[in-house]
């Protein structure tokens, strides 16, 4: 993947894994479209990256939980005449607790961001990549995508969707010049758990966003379909292959049970 002088679009770019994607891609000479709700954070990051790496950065502040947002974002890129070579669907969040006690509106927004936005963004930007026979789509899933998560039921289901969706599109496009790749991190040292509102959702040692993104880009260069950064995370993701479904649910449920 040669992205020097080409445009990459990163959602959820204001912090954590998204911010680190922006930094690592800028180091490779990619121009950037940075997307998140927080314009001030994006502006600060854009200024730093332009100054440090002599690249162009476009900032688009947008809430991707809104149904119309992906198309509005795509149209803005068209107006700016930007050809997106690399799309990183990173934006997402989780909820934690008993399903019926969590705000229905909040869980709806979780589905819109984690699932609908990923599907719609991919559907909008993929045709141009196919016309050029060149492009890459990175979808950020999670180790949560490998088994159901009691007390994080919607989050686990959304990340399972992202992983399945990405695998399927990898197969459809494997001979068409467009690469699909799923990044499946475990617990990572980001604002994720602050947004969730609890640290009980953190399992195992937290990786840094830099470690996660560096692993992702190395795996992508090796033409892998997906990667799980960290050996402990990889083993944990295989749990359901070696124990019964009920036992897997018991183990994960005990880990994530609200205090």
Q: Which residues are designated catalytic?
A: 155
- Diameter of the chain measured on Cα atoms: 53
Instruction: Give the count of beta carbons closer than 10 Å to the beta carbon of residue 80.
Output: 11
Measured over the CA atoms of residue 126, residue 178, residue 56 and residue 65, the dihedral's sign is positive
Take residue 246 and report the two structure tokens written for it: 């009920």
Q: How far apart are CA 86 and CA 102, in angstroms?
A: 35
Name the residue among 251, 183, 255, 175 with its Cα closest to residue 218. Answer: 183
Question: What does the alpha-carbon distance between residue 53 and residue 60 come to, in Å, rounded to a whole number?
Answer: 20
Closest CA to 192 of 170, 174, 207, 181: 207
Contact by Cβ (8 Å): 123, 79: no
CA dist 82 and 33 (Å) reads 9
What span, in angstroms and rounded, lies between the C-alpha atoms of 72 and 231?
Answer: 39
If DSSP codes are grouped into helix, strand and coil, which group holds residue 64?
coil
Beta bridge partners of 140: 183
CB 221 within 8 A of CB 46: no
- Within 8 A by CB and 6+ apart from 49, the residues are 22, 23, 26, 32, 55, 57
């Amino acid at each position: 993947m040669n992205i020097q002088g080409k445009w990459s679009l990163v959602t959820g770019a204001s912090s954590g894994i998204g911010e680190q994607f922006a930094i690592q891609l800028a180091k490779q000479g990619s121009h950037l479209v940075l997307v998140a709700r927080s314009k001030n954070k994006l502006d600060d990051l854009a200024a730093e990256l332009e100054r440090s790496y002599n690249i162009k950065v476009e900032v688009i502040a947008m809430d991707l939980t809104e149904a119309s947002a992906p198309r509005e974002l795509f149209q803005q890129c068209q107006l700016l005449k930007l050809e997106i070579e690399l799309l990183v669907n990173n934006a997402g969040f989780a909820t934690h607790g008993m399903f019926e006690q969590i705000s229905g509106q909040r869980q709806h927004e979780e589905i819109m961001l984690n699932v609908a936005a990923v599907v719609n963004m991919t559907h909008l930007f993929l045709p141009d990549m196919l016309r050029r026979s060149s492009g890459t789509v990175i979808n950020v899933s999670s180790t949560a995508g490998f088994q159901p998560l009691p007390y994080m039921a919607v989050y686990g289901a959304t990340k399972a969707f992202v992983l399945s969706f990405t695998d399927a599109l990898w197969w459809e496009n494997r001979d068409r010049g467009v690469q699909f790749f799923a990044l499946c991190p475990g617990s990572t040292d980001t604002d994720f758990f602050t947004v969730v509102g609890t640290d009980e959702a953190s399992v195992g040692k937290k990786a840094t966003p830099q470690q996660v993104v560096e692993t992702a880009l190395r795996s992508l260069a090796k033409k892998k379909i997906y990667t799980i950064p960290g050996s402990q995370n990889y083993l944990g993701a295989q749990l359901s292959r070696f124990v019964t479904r009920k036992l897997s649910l018991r183990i994960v449920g005990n880990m994530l049970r609200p205090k």
